[in-house]
Homo-oligomer: A and B are copies of this chain.
Amino acid sequence: MSVSALEGYHGEILRRLRKSGAKVGSVIRLTSKSGEVFEGILIPRSEYSDPRHIVLKMRNGYNIGISLERTEKLEVIGEGEKPHFTKPSSPPIRVGLPRVAIISTGGTIASRVDYRTGAVQPALTAADLASVVPELSSIAEVDAHILFSEYSENIGPMHWKGMAEEVAKRIADGAEGVVISHGTDTLHYTAAALSFALSGLPIPVLLVGAQRSSDRPSSDAASNLTGAVALAARADMALVGVAMHQDLSDHIILAHRGTRVRKCHTSRRDAFKSINANPLASYDLKTGQIELTNGVPKRDKSRKLALRSRFDQHAYLIKFYPGFNTSMIDSAVSAGARGIVLEGTGLGHVSRQLFDSVKKALKREIPFFMTSQTIWGRVDMNVYNTGRDLLNLGVTPLEDMIAETAIVKLMWVVAQTKSASKIREMMLRSIAGEMTSRTLVEAS
């Protein structure tokens, strides 16, 4: 038999599977050294998965990974169908539950492993999402639609506009909460974009993703989606947030403010962190309890949604580093930059070698904004001479705003005004909780 029929398996496991005549799709019976018996369909592994486990999709729909070390006996007992998700033709709708709109845009949460390549591909429909997590029907009256199906690294300003408009439509249709499923790569950029595009929200809008696809035993797709729908249905808040795992356990789903959240790990389920701010709320997957942080804007049906969904890509984010070539700033200016966010070092610095390029651009009425590549903390350009020099040149410090939010906000701001001073004024005004003016620093 060919190797490709066991794609994703390697080494000793591959040898054992071959010897038994197994291939992907076979029904396998595994007997563990402690005498337990597992039966299920052999599913392929991605490059990304733990190479020591054989993974079976069991009759109850769950995947299970059994380590080779624990395996006593391995038999092929039949040829199974490839696993699929059932689509309930008419999902049970309970009367009186809050109406939650799910808007699907793609990503791992709506993905499964491609059986041919072992890679993860967008595949599930919004209805599939709901069918994977049947308990959603006891939390909310879910209305699921696919807006588009895109890896999030390909999502940009035009998609943000489409999503904001779709959310506005769902709210007009009477949704009491909106959930947007989205790839995790740029989930936080989209969350920031929607935070600016949708002001005066009467209800919560929660973006949700998954770090592990729903075909994987460690998938966080179902738990994140459950948390997001519950928070969208019941949490007394009205703003854009991101709902993801708090830690590695299946216990708490946190909602982070859309303008204060960042993906801080390539693969962990708790990759999303609130930066320089507290999370908005938490959902306990075991008890269903919701806890809200003080000061979060409350639901208010009388609030009038203002949709400002245009973004202009003539905004640049440039990260400084030692040995940085100042030609990068000149190029951004030549390409028609209408504003530049610098990701400086420490409290908000760049080398004085950049001063000439910055000065030239400022003379052309192109505003510069300073954020810090440290991620955490607040820029403060009054402490050192370099900061004071940059302030004197006319660079505007963005307090504790993270760089990712700053570039999204700048794209939104330059779409609304041509005036450099108005751009500066809007960048310094907190519009969606994206920055706070200086807090008291406790001497320690």
**Chain A interfacial positions (CB closer than 8 Å to B):** 46-53, 65, 117, 119-121, 151-157, 160, 183-186, 189-190, 193, 216-218, 248, 263-269, 271, 311, 313, 315-323, 325, 327-328, 331-332, 335, 343-353, 372, 374-380, 382-386, 388, 404, 407-408, 411, 440-444
Contacts and interface: CB of A to CB of B under 8 A. Distances in A.
Contacts of A51: 440
Nearest to A320: B153
A313 B327 CA distance: 12
A253 B193 CA distance: 41
Nearest to A387: B119
B325 A313 contact: yes
Contact of A404 (B184, B321, B335): B321
Contact of A346 (B184, B351, B382): B184
A384 B114 CA distance: 10
A377 B265 contact: yes
A121 to B, nearest CB: 6
A331 B327 contact: yes
Given A52-B440, A349-B185, A442-B50, A380 B152 contact: no
B321 A48 contact: no
Contact of A372 (B160, B266, B269, B318): B266
A259 to B, nearest CB: 15
A385 B149 CA distance: 13
A319 B341 CA distance: 12
Contacts of A346: 152-153, 183-185, 263, 266
A383 B151 contact: no
Nearest to A160: B322
Contacts of A271: 374, 376-377
A325 B319 contact: no
B317 A325 contact: no
Nearest to A347: B266
A152 to B, nearest CB: 7
Nearest to A248: B444
Contact of A190 (B156, B265, B322, B328): B322
A316 B325 contact: yes
A443 B65 contact: yes
B185 A345 contact: yes
Contacts of A327: 331, 335
Contacts of A378: 266-267
A47 B347 CA distance: 12
A328 B331 contact: yes
A384 B441 contact: no
Contacts of A47: 380, 382-383
B377 A375 contact: no
5 contacts: A48-B441, A52-B440, A216-B443, A265-B375, A319-B319
Contact of A322 (B53, B157, B266, B352): B157
